[in-house]
Amino acid sequence: MGIADTSIAAAAALFSGVAGAAAWRAALAANRTADSVAKIERDRWHTEMTPRVDLSVVNERGRPELLVRFSGPAPLEAIDALELSVRDDRDRTNDLLLAGSATAEERANTIWGPLRLSPHIDGADDLGRRAEPFTLEHGEERRFALEPSQPPRWYGGAEGAHRWQGEYLDKPLRIWVRCVVKGHSPWRLTADLPTRGVQAVWIRAR
């Protein structure tokens, strides 16, 4: 093979290598684009399938109760596990811990809001923070007993209890709603519910 032939062969090999690298990069870019499009579509579908969970605080039977209703969307025939928990009025996990003041555990064990789930009733835990997960089918409703939240120890005596009630008298009941449905990523929603209305006010968790 002459010098010219060798040069041509080398150039051809180089061109082939460059073309191959370009094709590889194009294929990689196409795969990334396809993955991105697929993720966008999954996220869109997940948003469209967000369970329509409506909540309300009522006093129909002489005591406060939390009503939870599942009304769609139609493709979701049921929520396999619906988890309810009472939110605090704000996050206190990063608050300073001063000597002689409340400990982190005491803060965590206080429901900072007007109401809590009635402990040991309707599947509520000891604190009244969470209810046991339950299944809720399309169009169905569940009812949970509520009671006033309890002031922590540093709100001592009748005066402290009165001050606690005054602080939360017109505050909403804040609820976390976590929905688990087979074949979908879980949804975590929240709702702030008025507690002093004469008629039931339904609020959709978002």
Please determine, for residue 92, whether its predicted confidence score (pLDDT) is greater than 60.
yes
Confidence bin at 153 (pLDDT 50/70/90):
confident
Q: Report pLDDT for 14.
A: 54
Q: Give the residue-averaged pLDDT of 6-11.
A: 54
Confidence bin at 196 (pLDDT 50/70/90):
confident
Alpha-carbon gap, residue 23 to 96, rounded angstroms: 58
**Residue 77 and residue 138 in contact, taking contact as beta carbons nearer than 8 Å:** yes
Confidence bin at 184 (pLDDT 50/70/90):
very high
Question: Mean pLDDT across the chain, nearest whole number?
Answer: 88
Sort 31 into a burial class: Cβ within 10 Å, 0-12 / 13-18 / 19+. exposed
For residue 61, how many other CB atoms are within 10 A of its CB?
A: 9
Indicate left, alpha or beta for 47 from its phi (over 0: left) and psi (-120 to 50: alpha): alpha
Please determine, for residue 13, whether its predicted confidence score (pLDDT) is greater than 80.
no
Please determine, for residue 5, whether its predicted confidence score (pLDDT) is greater than 80.
no
Please determine, for residue 49, whether its predicted confidence score (pLDDT) is greater than 80.
yes
Please determine, for residue 2, whether its predicted confidence score (pLDDT) is greater than 70.
no
Q: Give the residue-averaged pLDDT of 26-52.
A: 83
Q: Which residue has the higher pLDDT, 197 or 122?
A: 122
Q: Report pLDDT for 141.
A: 97
Q: Report pLDDT for 10.
A: 52
| pLDDT tens-digit readout, 95-111 | 787 766 778 888 899 99
Please determine, for residue 193, whether its predicted confidence score (pLDDT) is greater than 60.
yes
pTM equals 0.80
For residue 187, how many other CB atoms are within 10 A of its CB?
A: 19
Indicate left, alpha or beta for 127 from its phi (over 0: left) and psi (-120 to 50: alpha): alpha
